[in-house]
Structure 1
Amino acid sequence: MKIPDLTNYEHLIGGLCGGVTSTVVCHPFDLLKIRFSANEGSSLRPQYSSYADAVRKIVRVEGVRGLYQGWTPSLIGASLSWGLYFQWYNSLRTKIYENFSTGSKLANNLISGCISGSAIMCITNPIWLTKTRLCLQYENQQSKKYAGMMDCLKKTVKQEGFFGLYRGFVTGVIGTTHGAVQIAAYSWIIDKRCQSQGLPKDSFLSQTDYVIASSTSKVLATTITFPYQVLRTRMQDHNTDSRGVWKTTLKTIHNEGIGGLWKGCLIANVRQLPAAVVTFLTYENVKRLVGMTKQI
């Protein structure tokens, strides 16, 4: 049986596989990042002295399964987001290069990343909202408000209306700068590496090159843009009534200082660094395999 030519969807398929793989491997880190970002010291939440202490307390009450709360929407959201992001980003930047060839490549990459990310956020914000709320159902609560992803979606619409699914949307759109910085830096590093080796653009490089490019771009993007993640988490948290980007920002700074906007940044880098490496390594290798279908 002849394998169909899937090269037009190589970025989509590579991104889908990358999102799935990174979520399976790294979701517990994501759970910890969300909980530390949301923690403003309220007595409603369990207080953890460290990341290791958080793991111990969660596992003691709920078992290892407790570290995978919010796993379903995370799996769906990550695979969908990365698949569409890589597909749309590469299509858009190609069109921009064709029409504005004299412009800066880095600027074009940033623009492509922001536009692609904003479009995807319109689709996936409800998924990320359910992930956040499921991750913030604590082990010290006598009963859980949500039984799962679909139950969370239904109750959110019933109690807050349809637009309740888009709480944190503005910060999410602002957060597209994170993906834009990451993908622009990654593309720039890969392009420079191809040039230094005298290879055509988008040539398949060594695994080490992809590890260095993905880790460097991820740490840079996470650290620079992290405050949006804190604000978004707090605005989507069902345990509090944080509304409005500006109001939440001022409240955070007033109560916790400017450092409060980077709360959870360390675990975010710990979580997102391996996730980024896994995502991009999977993406590049799957994309290469899909590209081979054109030769079959």
Structure 2
Amino acid sequence: MPDLVIDGRRTDLGGGFAVNRILPFRTRRMVGPFIFLDHAGPLDLPPPARRKADVRPHPHIGLSTVSYLFSGRMTHRDSLGVTQEIAPGAVNWMTAGRGIAHSERFDGAADGDPPMEAVQSWVALPEAAEESAPAFDTYPADTLPVAEEAGTWLRVIAGAAFGLSSPVRTHSPLFYAHARLRTGAATGLPEGHEERAAFIAHGTAEVDGQPFTAGQLLVFAAHEAPTIRATTDATVMLLGGAPLGERFIWWNFVSSRRDRIEQAKADWTEGRIALPPHDRDEWVPLPPDHRKKPPAAEPLS
């Protein structure tokens, strides 16, 4: 049985773009190095509304963003000069390191495209990599390993799972996989990882006879060997890995040091984190901090 079940919370990003936010959660802030998990869409907007839903240039430090689409498309632009269309099934892995800014826009979407639906996660960096040079890597869907058996289709997005290894470059031990289960089909979780979870994106499933539904994250203890069985056709994201220790988070900034968060705030406000060269006419300003007392960033562990 799961140690913890987390229900997603609807969060409005503005412009008609709402997401189901899974992590961080008040009683479980991380699963392995995964520090953030959003399920967005399906988002079907007419052309005039797409501009309002664009995610304008904003900064990150101390993490990698992982954008993974089920359908639709978006365009990524970052301060390294990268412009990349985000396609379904591909992995777009942006490592912020000491600082990067990026945007995700719908300007490449065309009439007739299927609605955009995606899972975006943030993977915290180990301390030795927190101040690394920023980088962006993309891996087309056909470069990622896939297995099919008895009604279960599975793609390993990152790390190693079930005898498959992804080519995606990571900074700490982890696994991340996309599974599609026909009604009655089942999957387990990879062994050998201290922290593991399964997010039900679509459909319903059960574990030891207990039912679960779309929008729930099931967090399991290291010693558990759960079987996740679909009670309808289901899409499940499997994730976890080695914990990294305490992290602080504020807005889009993650660090093992509280003072580094404060530095990132100043860097963005004073223009020391460059804007994307192909998307520099607007940006998201630093939000106000309404908390009356420190900490200025919350510790996550």
Name the TM tier (shorter chain).
Answer: under 0.3
Relative contact order: is structure 1 or structure 2 higher (C-alpha 8 Å, sep ≥ 6)? 1
Larger Rg: 1
Could you state the TM-score of these two structures normalised by the residue count of structure 2? 0.22
Higher strand share: 2
Higher helix share: 1
